[in-house]
Amino acid sequence: MRGATRETIPSDASIPEIMAARAQGQPTPYKDPLSYEYILVEDQQRQMRFERECPHPIWYFDYTEQEHGPEGSAIIGSHPYQPLAEQGIPCVVAGFEPLDVLQSVYMLARMHHENNPQVLIQYDRVVKPEGNPIALSKMNQVFEVTDTRWRGLGEIPASGLRIRDKYSQFDAQKRFTLELKPVPEPPGCDCGAVLRSAVQPTDCSLFGTTCRPDHPVGSCMVSSEGACAALYRYQSYDS
């Protein structure tokens, strides 16, 4: 990259830091990485470098300095996703940074192009096929498999966990005699169908009118990671 050296690239730049500064109205020397206008990413572990020419270095990301916490698939591993590949659906366990997403999309597209569905791990600096045996052992000690009701999907046999009777004193549902009732979607909300990919967010009659990030109706608009909220933001529905 012309006009840039490693020393001028901030080694501690991160999306949470940038987004927090922006939310507080504080000036930041970094370009918002979500804009994708400028990005410099270097992976010392894989010796891979993606860059776009720009007058000033914006963001330096070093995979070797990332946390290795027990998050998501880091516990269960990739084996539980194997049924997807057996049904002809390519699957990639992905990380969260922009380069993670970019590489994961490439891996999915390549498997689709080659008609070779597999379960691959892009996030291999954290996730292993077998997961975390110690964490899994502790989970199995405290929890047992049970039928669970899922938003938009209904009840799926053996799809969730509940606290074993041995630890029932810590089970809030038993301790406080709670009755969990099904919660229907608000009238007119197609969030369940959106979660199943049966419809697009724009197919919902509430999208962009009654249902907006500042006035969410369904859960897909409540979370910034929800499909409806993301589409509303990045396709400029916000006036």
Comparing CA positions, the residue from 102, 107, 70 lying closest to residue 91 is 107
Q: Tokens 């963001």 belong to which residue?
A: 59
List the single range of 62-71, 80-89, 129-138 with lowest mean pLDDT: 62-71
- Please give the pLDDT value at position 154: 81
Is the pLDDT at 237 greater than 70? The verdict is no
Cβ contacts of 232 within 8 Å, gap of 6 or more: 201, 207, 208, 212, 213, 221, 238
Q: Which residues pair with 120 in a beta bridge?
A: 92
List the single range of 17-26, 35-44, 104-113, 117-126 with lowest mean pLDDT: 35-44
> pTM for the full model?
0.58
Please state, in angstroms and rounded to a whole number, the distance separating the CA atoms of residues 105 and 88.
17
Residue 37 CA from chain centroid, whole number = 22
